[in-house]
Structure 1
Amino acid sequence: MIRQTLLAFAATAAVVSASEFKRELSPDRPDTTESPVSVEPGAIQIESSFWSFTRDKDAGITTETWTLGETNVKFGITECSDLQLVLRPWITERSKGLGMTDRLDGFGDVEVRWKQNFWGNDGGKTAFALMPFISIPTQTEVSTGEWEGGLIAPLSIELCDGVGLGLMAEIDRVWDSDKGRHEWDFVHTAVLGFDLTDSLGLYLEYIGNTGHGRYEATASAGLTWGQTENLQWDVGFTLGLNDAAEDFGLFQGVTFRF
């Protein structure tokens, strides 16, 4: 079984390395700010988190969450659009404090997204897109249990050679289980990306979230390494800047296309 897995990985790596594309690899991960560049028509791009971990302490209760294998599968539809399917195969959430212990496990809610690029797909100093999406409840222990959705608007700007700025605004219709109704959330982000070498990149990001709850402010940073033109590895962390935000997070993932 192990030998077959290794052979399958080697075959996939060979196909990924040999594939040729007009556009540079431009994944939505690992930062929160999405890329406005769509996948080329006929191509498939996989953006996967091997694992991610978050920890938060609020009102005397500490919550730790592990997410395994969260994957965004992208299908290039036209020269300026792609279809995306976001899957979260396994989520484990443990809460402890105030004399209680609780654990929730299951398959996370499924997202279907559409990216429509308006300019900058194949060159230029700026690029812009709109990304409507819906979230389909899986009705597991970690599911919200209700349909959600929203609209994402990412903008990228090339500041100078090797330095880029990404901005994103997002409006979401989310389920508030405490109030038993849907509410509006507004997410806004800004990220600076730096090319340290031809293959190594660094990003620094601010993430804000306001709406039905307290304002959440989060900082994020990470590294990317492009092993080939079609294969990129990443690692990063998040740090809560106020009490409302999650205290800390770590993640590691990969992006490849064929």
Structure 2
Amino acid sequence: MLRLLTFLSGVLYLHGTPALAQQPLQLTDRDSLLLSRQRYSLFRPVPRARLRPMSTGRPDATESAYSVDAGHFQVETDVVRLGQQRFYGEASQQLAFNHANIKLGLTRQMDLQVVVESYTIQTEDAEQPVRRAGFGDVTLRLKRNLWGNDGGATALALMPFVKLPTGRSCGNRAWEGGLVAPFAWQLPRDWSFGSQLQASWNRDPEAQAHYLELAPTVTVGHDLYRTLGGFLEVAAAWDTRAPAWTATLNGGPIWRVTDNVQLDLGVNLALTQATETSYFLGLSFRR
């Protein structure tokens, strides 16, 4: 039976199955991996020796198109983020601590994500200064990789999400949701390209109505050394309340401490008026 499976997997390979781009595996190892991954699940984790290279949805705004390996979890967090914005002469600031995305691999191509806004301090320098602080909203997301998880130069995923109004002081107390479609393309010479389109159904607390927001991104990454890389990204947003776009230019270095630990540092620089500029320090790790 084992010889038959090996023969059939070799036939599939000769008929055009894409080469494994993420890991330098030999043909027999690759075929065995693709066959065996079908059996892994939340309660039957992928062996650590066969984990895919860790792929994170940070520090850029473009989400990863790859899912977390079945039976493993991954944490990606803004350790600290400072945001500043000025609108019609009034300034506002937001200081966030441990806004974390906790991911759990469910199957070979699917993971569950819980985004938690652990603690936020918001201030507004208006005629009557405002200060809010506390726990924020929680967002539930389910990512389904469509292709590219285990090989090939490109990858695409779909990720629906829903935001729960758990925040009291820091939050709009409204249910929101949407869909994210991230795309990844591994380029030669240690370059990478990514993009996504996010459609969100958000709530305007002043108008007491929901509106549609579209947020496309384009990002380019490059490995400078084996453990040090960087990214440059343009992220934009448009919604049905006004015919104007908002945009930021994002960038920063990424340090891969180990195969399962990553640190990042960066800035989201406002390119348009009434857009927040933010500075952040991030940490990601996998178990």
Deviation at 1:139, TM superposition (A): 4.2
* Secondary structure of residue in 1 paired with 2:106: strand
Q: How does 1:199-214 map to 2 (within 5 A)?
A: 199-211=227-239, 212-213=241-242, 214=244
Residue in 1 aligned with 2:42? Answer: none
Q: Check if 1:217 corresponds to 2:247.
A: yes
CA offsets 1:200-235 (integer angstroms, 9 cap, x no match): 011000000001344211110011101110111111
Higher share of residues assigned strand: 1
Assess if the C-alpha contact under 8 Å between 2:120 and 2:135 holds in 1: yes
Match for 1:30 among 59, 68, 75? 59
Residue in 2 aligned with 1:230? Answer: 260
Assess if the C-alpha contact under 8 Å between 2:86 and 2:274 holds in 1: no
The TM-score, its normalising length taken from structure 1, stands at 0.90
Assess if the C-alpha contact under 8 Å between 1:215 and 1:244 holds in 2: no
Counterpart AA for 2:121: T
Deviation at 1:106, TM superposition (A): 1.6
CA offsets 1:97-147 (integer angstroms, 9 cap, x no match): 3x3211111211100000000111112110000000000001411111110
Q: Check if 1:74 corresponds to 2:103.
A: yes
CA distance in 2, matches of 1:65, 1:160: 39
Gap regions ≥5 residues in structure 1: 1-17
Runs of 4+ in 1 over 6 A off after TM superposition: none
Q: Check if 1:172 corresponds to 2:200.
A: yes
Alpha carbons of 1:104 and 1:28: their partners in 2 closer, same or farther (altered >3 Å)? same
Residue in 1 aligned with 2:132? Answer: 104
Deviation at 1:19, TM superposition (A): 4.8
Q: Check if 1:113 corresponds to 2:133.
A: no
RMSD: 1.3
CA offsets 1:129-177 (integer angstroms, 9 cap, x no match): 0000000001411111110000000001122120010010000000011
Q: How does 1:1-258 map to 2 (within 5 A)?
A: 19-97=48-126, 99-211=127-239, 212-213=241-242, 214-246=244-276, 248-258=277-287
Deviation at 1:244, TM superposition (A): 3.0
Counterpart AA for 1:44: F
CA offsets 1:229-253 (integer angstroms, 9 cap, x no match): 011111100110010321x210001
CA distance in 2, matches of 1:161, 1:44: 30
Residue in 2 aligned with 1:13? Answer: none
Q: Identify the structure with bigger relative contact order (alpha carbons < 8 Å, sequence gap 6+).
A: 1
> What is the identity percentage for the equivalent residue pairs of Structure 1 and Structure 2?
34
The TM-score, its normalising length taken from structure 2, stands at 0.81
Gap regions ≥5 residues in structure 2: 1-46
Residue in 1 aligned with 2:32? Answer: none
Assess if the C-alpha contact under 8 Å between 1:72 and 1:85 holds in 2: yes
CA distance in 1, matches of 2:274, 2:218: 19
CA distance in 1, matches of 2:271, 2:188: 29
Counterpart AA for 2:205: S
Alpha carbons of 1:117 and 1:42: their partners in 2 closer, same or farther (altered >3 Å)? same
CA distance in 1, matches of 2:51, 2:100: 24
Assess if the C-alpha contact under 8 Å between 1:19 and 1:230 holds in 2: no
Assess if the C-alpha contact under 8 Å between 2:85 and 2:274 holds in 1: no
